[in-house]
Structure 1
C-alpha cells in the first residue's frame, strides 16, 4: 500500500497524556516557550538547541513537521497533559523506511515536567501505535552513549541494545566525536 493512503490519526491518548500532531499553524509559541525553559538541559544533546530559536523559527519547524506528517515521511506528536493541557514535550517517528517498514523514535521533554514518567508513557503509546496500527517491523531509538536519561527510556521499555557505534556522530555542538547507542524492538 502507498503510505500516503494510510489513515494515521492526528491524536493519540494514554492514561495521562494526549499526543497531537502539529497543527498547520499556531503551535510555535507554546513549543518555543518550552525550548526556552529547557535550553540548558537540551543543549548538550540536540543540535536544534544550540541557540534559542525564535518563535518564527519554531513555527516554521512545526509547519514542516505538519507537512511531513501529511506526506507520511515522519510523524511528530506534541505531548500535552490530559487534565491541564500543559505542553510537556515531543515524540516522533523519524527516518521512516516504508520498504521494511521501520522507523526511529525521538523525544524531548520540557524540563518543568521531568521525572514524572511522561516521556516513558508517551513513547510507550507511540510504540504500541507503531507496531499495532502502522505495522512497523522494527522501531529503533538512538542516543548518545553518555545521555543516560535518554538511554533509560528504551531500557525500561524492553528495547535491546544492539550495539554501540564508536565515534559515529558529532556532539550536538559539533565539537567532538561521540558514541551512539542503538536500541531496537522488532514486531
Structure 2
C-alpha cells in the first residue's frame, strides 16, 4: 500500500505530554529551544553547530510538516499538556513502509531534562508506531558516548543489537564515533 493512503492521527497525548506534527509557526519555539540548549546539543546534533534564527527553524518546521504529509518522515513536536510549553522534538525517521520499520530520534530543551519527559515521549511514540502504523521494528541509534540518550531505549526495553565502530563522524566533524543500535522487534514472519 502506498503510505500516502494511510490515515493515522497527527497528534496524541501521554500522561503529561501533547505530541503532534510540526505546524507552520512552530519555528519560534523550536529556535528558542535549540538556542537555549545549544551547549548540551552541540556534541551530539549536527544541526546545533550554531544558534538558529527563527527563520531557519521555521523553514525546517515547514519542510517537516510537508514530509509528514508525504509520509517521508514523521517528525513530532513535544509539548507539556498542562502549560503548552515546547519540550523537544522526536519522531519516526528513516522508514521502510514495506516492513514497516522506523527509527526514533529525539532531542530535548535542556531546561526540561531529567524529568522523564523524553522517556515518556519516546514510549508514546513507540506505542503510536506499534498501534497506528503496525510497526514490526523500531530502532534507536545514538552515539555510544551519549549516556543520556542511551538510557532511554534501555529504560523502555529496547535490546542493544550492536555497536557499529567508526560508523559516523562527530557532530563537530573532528572525530569518528561509534553508533549503538537499539531495537524493539515484533516477532512475525508475515507482513
Q: Please indicate the TM-score interval, normalised by the length of the shorter structure.
A: over 0.9
The answer for the alignment partner of 2:22 in structure 1 is 22
The answer for the alignment partner of 1:114 in structure 2 is 113
Structure 1 residues 66-81: aligned runs within 5 Å:
66-81=65-80
1: CA distance between counterparts of 2:61 and 2:172? 22
Kindly provide the CA deviation profile for residues 104-126 of structure 1, in whole angstroms up to 9, marking residues without a partner as x. Answer: 00000000100100000000000
The answer for the alignment partner of 2:132 in structure 1 is 133
Q: TM-score, normalization: structure 1?
A: 0.98
Following TM superposition, by how much is the alpha carbon of 1:135 offset from its aligned partner in structure 2, in angstroms?
Answer: 0.4
* Structure 2: segments with no counterpart, 5+ residues: 187-191
Structure 1 residues 1-187: aligned runs within 5 Å:
1-23=1-23, 25-187=24-186
Kindly provide the CA deviation profile for residues 60-108 of structure 1, in whole angstroms up to 9, marking residues without a partner as x. Answer: 0010100110010111111000101110001110001112110100000
2: CA distance between counterparts of 1:53 and 1:174? 19
* Structure 1: segments with no counterpart, 5+ residues: none
Q: Alignment RMSD, CA only?
A: 0.7
Q: TM-score, normalization: structure 2?
A: 0.96
